[in-house]
Amino acid sequence: MTIKLFIDDIRQPSDVGFINSEWVVARTYSEAMRYIESFKPQLISFDHDLGYMQPSGFDIAKELLNLDMDLGEYISSDFKYYVHSANPIGAENIRSLLDNYIDVRTNGRK
């Protein structure tokens, strides 16, 4: 079974087109990080904006990479992610960060 994490301060997975109800929903940076540290999800769907003056989905993505670099195996070889954010710049920042890190880790490019 794939461990799935949906990060969004307002929406549910079904609001962005996910039909399967097996997602764990995290509403804040703290909730998301507790889940990531405990269960190492293989699939994460990111929202960027998690409330006014709160850490963002981009901050969660950065911390996920830090965990992977420091401790290893936080991002498995079968890891997948989506970005469902309505913030186009924030969404692209998350995608770029994750795509570049995964590419370097997988292919050794710098």
Burial class, 45, CB count within 10 angstroms (exposed 0-12 / middle 13-18 / buried 19+): buried
Find the mean pLDDT for residues 84-92: 98
pLDDT at 107: 86
- In this prediction, what percent of the chain has a pLDDT beyond 90? 84
pLDDT at 109: 63
Give the C-alpha separation, 77 to 79, whole Å.
Answer: 6
Contact present, 18 and 2 (Cβ < 8 Å): no
Instruction: Report pLDDT digits (tens) over 56-74.
Output: 999 999 999 999 999 987 8
59: Cβ contacts below 8 Å, ≥ 6 apart: 29
Find the mean pLDDT for residues 63-89: 93
Find the mean pLDDT for residues 41-69: 97
The pLDDT mean for the chain works out to 94
Backbone dihedral region for residue 17 (phi beyond 0: left; psi -120 to 50: alpha; all else: beta)? left
Strand partners, 46: 7, 83
Strand partners, 83: 46
pLDDT at 96: 98
Enter the tokens of residue 31.
Answer: 């909730």
Considering only CA atoms, give the Rg of the chain.
Answer: 13
Domain residue spans of the chain: 4-46+63-107
Q: Where residue 110 falls among pLDDT bands split at 50, 70, 90? A: low
Backbone dihedral region for residue 26 (phi beyond 0: left; psi -120 to 50: alpha; all else: beta)? beta
